[in-house]
Amino acid sequence: MPQRTIPLSSPDISEADIAAVTAVLRTPRLSLGPRVPEFEEAVAAFVGAKYAIAVNSGTSALHLCVRALGIADGDEVITTPFSFVASANCMLFERAVPRFVDILPETYCMDPAKVEAAITTKTKAILGVDVFGYVENWSVLRAIAKKHNLALIEDSCEALGSSSGGKKAGTFGDCGTFAFYPNKQMTTGEGGMIVTDRDDIARAARMMRNQGRDPDAAWLDHQVLGYNYRLSDIHAALGVSQLKRLPEFMANRARVAGWYGKALAPLSEHLRVPEEQKGVDVSWFVYVVRLADRYTAADRDRLLTLLREWGIGCNTYFPCIHLQPFYQKLYGHTKGEFPVAESVSDHALALPFFNALTEDDVAQVASMLKESLAILAS
């Protein structure tokens, strides 16, 4: 039955990537050297933003966006419960409160009608997430933000390379973020990036990532409370090298998604494959299928167990943020508050997805999925 193990995700590291990293190691400039600005300029040019500020993770990028916008104690930020936990945690770091709204079942983006209904006198911002490489309905979100004088933060940590109406994900808000953990479209090992057109946000983020230092002042002159969120030149060199390969990565991933679509078509009464998003060029992050409504979360978990026993990497994607234990404890959230997000979460199954997957691998995953569905029915 099992032929070979297939991981859920895997980075794509070339000899050129390795050479770029080792070249830095042959210099004394392991941090605060030339590779960081080179990486920043390359990302800014790629997405079409005025500024890019490299940091050590996507979570750090989100935190600095929240701080740069002055979001603090008791302020409310409207966001999605269907995301990686960091997109809401960044508000808790500043004692601000995430106000979750439910999502649309097709693209998993926030339901704009629910966004407007969630606005209160304490609302300061909307933080949208371009989940799985889909792109939020930014034109509607921008109109709402403008009407109510709110800031817009775009968590594009899963959408580097996606574009909507010819404009790149990450550039729709006052500031946007990217992440470079090894399961993302491209990696620096760990790393993140803020992109913005706003001088004030860029300047604040640059100071705060480097211990609050004013770039024009002396080394031990700390103007504001800062952090060490710097990205090293070793990581940045990998980023420069990987970014050059991003168009090739995106094409590979789209091809793998196409194979899955075909291989899983015979299982369409059991599960649905990811839908296209109108007007959007999706940069594929993960490949998440959704079981039919008649299946329960327990069924889904049983499938996960079977597939893993057979060496197929797979996972739930995502458990809802509001149902994470500490969110329930802090805010009293309960099941049933966001039925669309919860239902998607209960039925979602992320399958192996990375550049080097072959058509044979995809066929193997599809046949094991079919077999596990048969076991479930028996």
Ligand X SMILES: *Cc1c(COP(=O)(O)O)cnc(C)c1O
314 burial level (CB within 10 Å; 0-12, 13-18, 19+): buried
Q: Which of 57, 80, 163, 283 binds ligand X (CB under 6 A)?
A: 57
Residues 6 or more apart whose CB falls under 8 angstroms from that of 172 comprise: 128, 135, 136, 138, 141, 142, 152, 154, 164
Output the residue with the shortest Cβ distance to ligand X: 58
Q: Which of residues 324-353 bind ligand X (CB under 6 A)?
A: none
**CB of residue 372 vs ligand X: minimum separation in angstroms?**
27
Q: Which is nearer to ligand X, 11 or 270 (CB)?
A: 11
Dist. CA 267–CA 251, nearest whole Å: 25
**CB of residue 183 vs ligand X: minimum separation in angstroms?**
8
**CB of residue 232 vs ligand X: minimum separation in angstroms?**
15
Residue 89 binds ligand X, judged by CB under 6 A: no
Q: Which of residues 174-213 bind ligand X (CB under 6 A)?
A: 179, 181, 192
Residue 157 binds ligand X, judged by CB under 6 A: yes
**CB of residue 122 vs ligand X: minimum separation in angstroms?**
23
Q: Which is nearer to ligand X, 181 or 259 (CB)?
A: 181
Residue 58 binds ligand X, judged by CB under 6 A: yes
Applying CB under 6 A, which part among 35-43, 56-64, 99-107, 134-142 lies near ligand X? 56-64
Residue 172 corresponds to which tokens in the numbers above?
Answer: 């729709």
Residue 87 binds ligand X, judged by CB under 6 A: yes
Residue 327 corresponds to which tokens in the numbers above?
Answer: 């969110």
Helices 58-68 and 199-209, interaxial angle, to 10°? 120
Order of strands across the sheet that contains 271-272:
271-272, 287-291, 348-351
Residues in contact with ligand X, total (CB under 6 A)? 14
Q: Which is nearer to ligand X, 153 or 256 (CB)?
A: 153
Largest separation between any pair of C-alpha atoms in the chain: 71
Residues 6 or more apart whose CB falls under 8 angstroms from that of 96 comprise: 66, 71, 72, 73, 74, 75, 76, 77, 124
**Residues facing 281 on adjacent strands:** 163
Question: Binding residues for ligand X, per CB under 6 A?
Answer: 57-59, 83-84, 86-87, 129, 155, 157-158, 179, 181, 192
